[in-house]
Amino acid sequence: MSTLLIEGGHRLEGRVAVEGNKNAALPLLAACLLTEEECVLTNVPRIGDVEVMARLLLDLGAEVEGIGTTTLRIKTPRINTDAPDRGLVGRLRGSVLLLGPLLARTGRAHIAPPGGDFPARRTISTHTEALQALGARERPGPDHLLEAPDGLKPASMYLYEASVTGTETALLAAASAPGVTEIRHAATEPHVVELCEFLTKMGAVVSGIGSSKLRIDGTAKLRGAKHQLGGDYIEAGSWAVVGAITGGEIAIEGCREEDIEVVAAVMQRMRVECGMRQGVFEVKPSKPQAVRRIATGLWPSFPSDLVSLVTVLATQAAGRTLVHDWMYELRLFALEQMSGLGADLFLADAHRIIVTGPTKLRGGRTLDSRDLRSGMSLIAAGLAAEGQTRVAPLETVERGYSQLVDRLKALGAKVAKVE
């Protein structure tokens, strides 16, 4: 494991370019299993989670070229096993996306409980219910074992939860089920839209893209396709907070205005000078102000993936802010560590935290990056704190942020990776 050593108190300045959307890359890689023909993905983020998913495809029998680069070529003329490697599955929540393609290609899927952040609190019931609606049968046991010996069948379904990966699981399965499937209460995030667009290129007919009601005319013979991933707005929002919390000036390239506006709206309410100009999202030196309440929500509301970062920003905003993440438990617990840096925090319950600022943060502690997003948030806190702070394990954060240490240094951060 590695530790990031941070000397805080330095203003970050410069330009940074985001790579493709992490949350789009994983379902697109899974979709490549639906065809025997070659698929090509470009602007793929060079992050840990993508490498794990690519190695899962290799384990299943796919030919994968370009691991570690921004261009991946995937061809799967045959699938060798319906049970992907347990160790790799245990490292990646997104491994659940393999269920649909495995059922489509082999009639059977057997995966261990997926890992990732908060695995014990995040079930895959929405995924399995969608697959059962499409004709799969689930066998009892500690693992997830589904069978569809007669193939997947089109269906009309309502998702009890507008789950992003649950919607993607339903889409992946429906695309290969000949006939018309309708999915209601579908997630509408940009990465769900990208999957719909990719499946359309592969030969499925998807209508209602971007809405909560999707109609998929599936086919048993999908073809290969090429796709360039859109920029990761969560990564862009992370860099924006890093710039704001250090009083810096950062220009962020590669994100779309219609995606980043969900982040910009909250930052602008906090009186952070930021906005899109000629295709670049700019953050200027500002004096943040508290807002009464920041709450997460389904797209296009403020994303849960950025709630930890905006909480750290609130420690430097004048006044009191209630941050409410009703979507996930545990995400805010890791931020209690900032009390040791001097932050004024009150954790009301598993979903709400009250932040009073501004407070002068002081280093001298080692912080535990318990999950991907809180890990990046603690790094942001370390960058704003006086003195030295350590964040470990760094690998947790590198799951979702490409070349993190090098890019921090390029912006003027005083950081070092210690093995």
Active site residues: 117
| Residue pair 288/309 in contact by the 8 Å Cβ criterion | no
Instruction: Give the helix/strand (H/E) hosting 34.
Output: none
HSE on the CB side for 295, CA within 13 Å?
A: 5
Q: Residue 65 contacts by C-beta under 8 Å, 6 or more apart in sequence? A: 72, 73, 74
204 by DSSP, 3-state: which? Answer: coil
d(CA 196, CA 277): 29
SS (H, E, C) 227-265: EECCECHHHHHHHHHHHHHCCCEEEEECCCHHHHHHHHH
β-pair type (13-17, 249-253) = parallel
Instruction: Give the helix/strand (H/E) hosting 99.
Output: helix 99-106
DSSP 285-296: ----B--SEEEB
Instruction: Give the helix/strand (H/E) hosting 381.
Output: helix 372-384
d(CA 200, CA 196): 6
CB atoms within 10 A of CB 344: 15
